[in-house]
Amino acid sequence: MFKNRGFLIIAGLIVLAVVIYLLSQGGRLAALRGGPAAEPPMDLRNVIPRDWAPMPGWPRQCNFDDDDEPEWLLLYKYDQARAPHPYTKETPTPRGPIGAAIFDTQNNTLPEGVGNLSSYPATFVIPYRLLPDFYEGKGQGYLGETDVKVIYHPPVLRNDPCKVVEITILGYADGPLPTRLSIFRWQDRAAGYAAAHFAGDARVTAADALDGKEIVREVTTYNRLENHRSLLCAVRTYERRAEAVIFDERLDAFSIDFCFGAPPDPTYPEGVVVAYLRGHAPESREGAPSPATNGFLVQAATVPGEIAPSAQTRILALTNPASVSRDPAGGHTCTSQEVKGGDAETSSGPERGWLCGRESTTVETDLVIGGQVRRVAWQLISIVPKQVSGDIHWRIQAAQVLDGS
């Protein structure tokens, strides 16, 4: 009995030893394939603040400044909070910002002397904060919330030593579209790393390919208009000054536009106005054909010639119609002034007919026309198919330039 138990213990220990050996070999193989980052030195681990939680796989070593020594780039989570999930008892996921710092290990340059006979140079570590940082010039932000993607410029080729001129970091808050973009470049020992930081709560795009071959020269941010039902955004474009990490907003490029591009046939009237002004045309949705209008205009719409829709149209402000008016008669069968061919009901049967003007509404926009800001009022009517299942289409009946405010 006791003999058997002893045998089982020994066998168990052997199995455990084999498992530990295999796991250690696995780790070694992964490291040889360029997998996990090298272990940071002890003195680096001692200087990382305890309340920073390093992101998996970080810190990583690379040469980020003007000396020949490698530095350590650390990505970490901080200020993590837990918001409860509604309607479930699941444990809330920690949520909070992601930051980064570069740890610069520098050898003490004091020459060996009478009082300093050690041949081992003392080392000290300077932590350069990238973001968050409290000092001016960095945008005072953070890198991302749920994830980040780090892009080195120039890209580091396999087998080449890691040497980087600029770091671009895309930040994510759920979802696949980045909502933050940060750029860092070594300046000097006193100033550390220069930074540019952009945030768009819908998305951020960079005009240049983000493979690191080119530095980022133009950035566009999409920030949602407050609680906007048509997913409209304030769109701002920033241009870079030469090689410096300084970007200026192109004030002549600001416009309101769709956060994620124009939908085929916007559901809300102000969406139709924006789609028209930005040069789009309606596309039939599957199972819901568009009425035969002149794009987003009814056939005989009256729009002043000075309003020329294009991708460059600048919309500075826009009102949501608070309500729509309802025609007591329930609308009328569309005329040829509204839909091409007019009363389709007589020729094609009631299921193909369109009802015009059941609802109507007004949208106001501030547009840049000929270099001036002009307020334009847009009258829209609804066009609905007579079949019960059809959805509403909004079309522009008339536009009027109100003043030169």
Q: Catalog residues that contact Ca ion under the rule CB under 5 A.
A: 63, 65, 67, 69, 104
What dihedral angle (degrees, nearest 10) is formed by the CA atoms of 394, 395, 398, 401? 70
Taking the C-alpha atoms of residue 10 and residue 240, their distance in angstroms, rounded to an integer, is 68
Shortest spacing between CB 37 and Ca ion, in angstroms: 17
Taking the C-alpha atoms of residue 276 and residue 254, their distance in angstroms, rounded to an integer, is 18
Shortest spacing between CB 102 and Ca ion, in angstroms: 8
Q: With respect to Ca ion, which residue has the nearer C-beta, 187 or 223?
A: 187
Q: With respect to Ca ion, which residue has the nearer C-beta, 105 or 230?
A: 105
Q: With respect to Ca ion, which residue has the nearer C-beta, 100 or 232?
A: 100
CA dist 45 to 49, 59, 103, 164, 338, Å? 9, 10, 10, 23, 72
Shortest spacing between CB 295 and Ca ion, in angstroms: 58
Q: Which residue has the tokens 């997913």?
A: 231
Taking the C-alpha atoms of residue 383 and residue 293, their distance in angstroms, rounded to an integer, is 10
Report the candidate in 257, 268, 254 with the shortest Cα–Cα distance to residue 296. Answer: 268
Q: With respect to Ca ion, which residue has the nearer C-beta, 67 or 306?
A: 67
Q: With respect to Ca ion, which residue has the nearer C-beta, 36 or 161?
A: 161
Shortest spacing between CB 75 and Ca ion, in angstroms: 18
What dihedral angle (degrees, nearest 10) is formed by the CA atoms of 88, 231, 175, 217? -150
Shortest spacing between CB 136 and Ca ion, in angstroms: 24
Shortest spacing between CB 188 and Ca ion, in angstroms: 11
Taking the C-alpha atoms of residue 168 and residue 130, their distance in angstroms, rounded to an integer, is 11
Q: With respect to Ca ion, which residue has the nearer C-beta, 109 or 389?
A: 109
Shortest spacing between CB 67 and Ca ion, in angstroms: 4
Helix (H) or strand (E) holding 22: helix 2-32
Say which residues have a Cβ less than 8 Å from residue 243's Cβ, sequence separation at least 6: 215
Pairing of strands 393-403, 297-302: parallel
Q: With respect to Ca ion, which residue has the nearer C-beta, 104 or 133?
A: 104
Shortest spacing between CB 69 and Ca ion, in angstroms: 5
CA atoms within 13 A on the CB side of 298: 28
Shortest spacing between CB 163 and Ca ion, in angstroms: 8
Report the candidate in 359, 338, 351, 358 with the shortest Cα–Cα distance to residue 390. Answer: 351
Q: With respect to Ca ion, which residue has the nearer C-beta, 167 or 380?
A: 167
Q: In this structure, what are the phi and psi dihedrals at residue 122, rounded to the nearest 5 degrees? A: -70, 140
Taking the C-alpha atoms of residue 399 and residue 379, their distance in angstroms, rounded to an integer, is 6
Q: With respect to Ca ion, which residue has the nearer C-beta, 63 or 205?
A: 63
Contact assessment for residue 283 and residue 301, using Cβ atoms and an 8 Å cutoff: no
